């Protein structure tokens, strides 16, 4: 019989809550658990301060953050949006759902991030936005990408969903482009009860537009600033206490106060949680050093890597087993669930329907045949790490 998947080595890794989060939730419950209230505003302020941006707006998830950031940057039909094929579908789907043409840029084989040299080749006059993804928690080569943005006039929307707290040359992920998009999904470096997200920006126009569309483009005049910016001068109030208008048809991508209150507590713990991830990764790397056929990840000196995931490449000939057999044997024989982040998007039905084909991005194609991700999170114990390492070693050339 296959061993039971070990709790700490299974795929629902990420969320690390304690008594402080429980206390925060009870407080909000006693306040009738509102939405878009004071806890959301406090979390936004703290998150913007942490990232060093003028604004932050909490949203329901990272997908909504990406969609609203592109919308805020004015992306629509006829525009071209570029991103990496090695990402979660949400990054590319944001442009598609806004009616833009989405194309991919091949990756750097060492960092797995978008290769700026290949980005330069893909820019056309219609390129309105580029979405670099700070994959696994390591920032992209932002100097090169921002240099191209300045030259060609496109907006850089950072997909920082893996990179909460990461830095590039001392600048926080999410503070370098026109906007940053974060996810607080249960597997991310900090979480807001399983789902959640935030947009960061210092661009007042992008912020205003993204914030409006987040909540049905609502404008409330006269009484409340709860859902939107207040512009009392715009309407004569007369005897009216309150007046509502909608600039356009928008969405409900709001976050609840219960989530935001937990987010505030998680944000205070984030640096410690990230430091623990770095320790866990260092222990795994040390344990696996010298195992034939494994390529372990590199953090570049200009980056503070926050190790959302720990990628590893397997050379089938050297290791004695290919990726698929490895993932299967780790689960069936050792009770460890290994990840495959990600299936390149040009391999998927969604993008093959849009004219893409396998083999079109050769670096991503080759890497994806060998790449797995190890289940790292702050709660991993020394025993868990030892089990992970010894299980991998046991499969190498079958021990």
Residue nearest to ligand PLP (CB): 62
Cα separation, 186 vs 22, whole angstroms: 16
Nearer residue to ligand PLP within complex by CB, 135 or 284: 135
Contact 69, 199 (CB under 8 A): yes
Q: Show the binding pattern over residues 79-108: x = contacts ligand PLP (CB under 6 A), - = does not.
A: --------xx-xx-----------------
Binding of residue 345 to ligand PLP (CB under 6 A):
no
Binding of residue 311 to ligand PLP (CB under 6 A):
no
Which residues pair with residue 167 across a beta bridge? 172, 304
**133 CB burial (10 A radius; 0-12, 13-18, 19+):** buried
**5 CB burial (10 A radius; 0-12, 13-18, 19+):** middle
Site for ligand PLP in 125-144 (CB under 6 A): 133
Nearer residue to ligand PLP within complex by CB, 37 or 339: 339
Q: Which of 50, 43, 283 is nearest to 166 (CA)?
A: 50
Q: Show the binding pattern over residues 37-76: x = contacts ligand PLP (CB under 6 A), - = does not.
A: ------------------------xxx-------------
Binding of residue 161 to ligand PLP (CB under 6 A):
yes
Binding of residue 185 to ligand PLP (CB under 6 A):
yes
Task: In angstroms, give the least distance from the CB of 342 to ligand PLP.
Answer: 8
Q: What is the C-alpha R_g of the chain?
A: 22
Nearer residue to ligand PLP within complex by CB, 197 or 384: 197
Binding of residue 200 to ligand PLP (CB under 6 A):
no
Nearer residue to ligand PLP within complex by CB, 198 or 392: 198
- Per-residue DSSP letter, 133: B
237 contact partners, CB below 8 Å, separation of at least 6: 221, 222, 243
Q: Cα separations (Å) of 369 from 210, 267, 330, 362?
A: 38, 36, 17, 11
Nearer residue to ligand PLP within complex by CB, 174 or 293: 174
Contact 340, 327 (CB under 8 A): yes
- Per-residue DSSP letter, 107: B
Q: Which of 115, 159, 257, 313 binds ligand PLP (CB under 6 A)?
A: 159
Task: In angstroms, give the least distance from the CB of 303 to ligand PLP.
Answer: 16
Contact 331, 337 (CB under 8 A): yes
Task: In angstroms, give the least distance from the CB of 193 to ligand PLP.
Answer: 12
Nearer residue to ligand PLP within complex by CB, 133 or 385: 133
Nearer residue to ligand PLP within complex by CB, 9 or 90: 90
Write out the residues near ligand PLP by the rule CB under 6 A. 61-63, 87-88, 90-91, 133, 159, 161-162, 183, 185, 197
């Amino acid at each position: 019989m296959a061993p039971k998947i070990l709790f700490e080595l299974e795929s629902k890794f990420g969320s690390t809550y304690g008594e402080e989060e429980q206390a925060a939730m009870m407080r909000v419950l006693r306040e009738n658990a509102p939405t878009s209230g004071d806890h959301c505003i406090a979390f936004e302020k703290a998150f913007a301060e942490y990232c060093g941006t003028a604004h932050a707006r909490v949203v329901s998830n990272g997908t909504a953050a990406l969609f609203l950031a592109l919308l805020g940057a004015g992306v629509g039909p006829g525009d071209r949006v570029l991103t990496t094929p090695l990402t979660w579908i949400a990054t590319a789907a944001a442009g598609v759902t806004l009616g833009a043409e989405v194309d991919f840029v091949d990756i750097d084989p060492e960092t797995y991030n978008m290769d700026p040299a290949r980005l330069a080749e893909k820019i056309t006059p219609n390129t309105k936005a580029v979405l670099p993804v700070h994959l696994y928690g390591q920032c992209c080569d932002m100097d090169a990408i921002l240099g191209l943005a300045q030259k060609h006039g496109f907006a850089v929307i950072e997909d920082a969903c893996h990179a909460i707290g990461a830095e590039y040359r001392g600048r926080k992920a999410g503070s370098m482009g026109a906007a940053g998009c974060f996810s607080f999904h249960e597997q991310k470096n900090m979480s807001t009860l399983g789902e959640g997200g935030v947009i960061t920006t210092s661009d007042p126009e992008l912020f205003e537009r993204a914030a409006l569309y987040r909540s049905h483009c609502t404008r409330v005049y006269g009484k409340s600033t709860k859902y939107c910016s207040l512009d009392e001068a715009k309407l004569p109030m007369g005897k009216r206490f309150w007046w509502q208008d909608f600039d356009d048809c928008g969405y409900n991508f709001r976050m609840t106060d219960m989530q935001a209150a937990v987010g505030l507590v998680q944000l205070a713990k984030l640096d410690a949680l990230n430091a623990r991830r770095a320790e866990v990764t260092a222990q795994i790397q040390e344990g696996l050093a010298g195992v034939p056929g494994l390529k372990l990840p590199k953090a570049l000196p200009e980056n503070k890597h926050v190790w959302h995931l720990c990628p590893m490449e397997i050379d089938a000939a050297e290791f004695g087993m290919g990726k698929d057999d490895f993932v299967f044997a780790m689960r069936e024989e050792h009770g460890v669930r290994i990840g495959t982040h990600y299936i390149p998007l040009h391999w998927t039905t969604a993008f093959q329907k849009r004219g893409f084909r396998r083999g079109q991005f050769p670096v991503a194609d080759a890497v994806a045949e060998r790449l797995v991700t190890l289940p790292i999170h702050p709660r991993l114990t020394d025993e868990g790490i030892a089990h992970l390492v010894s299980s991998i070693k046991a499969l190498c050339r079958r021990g």
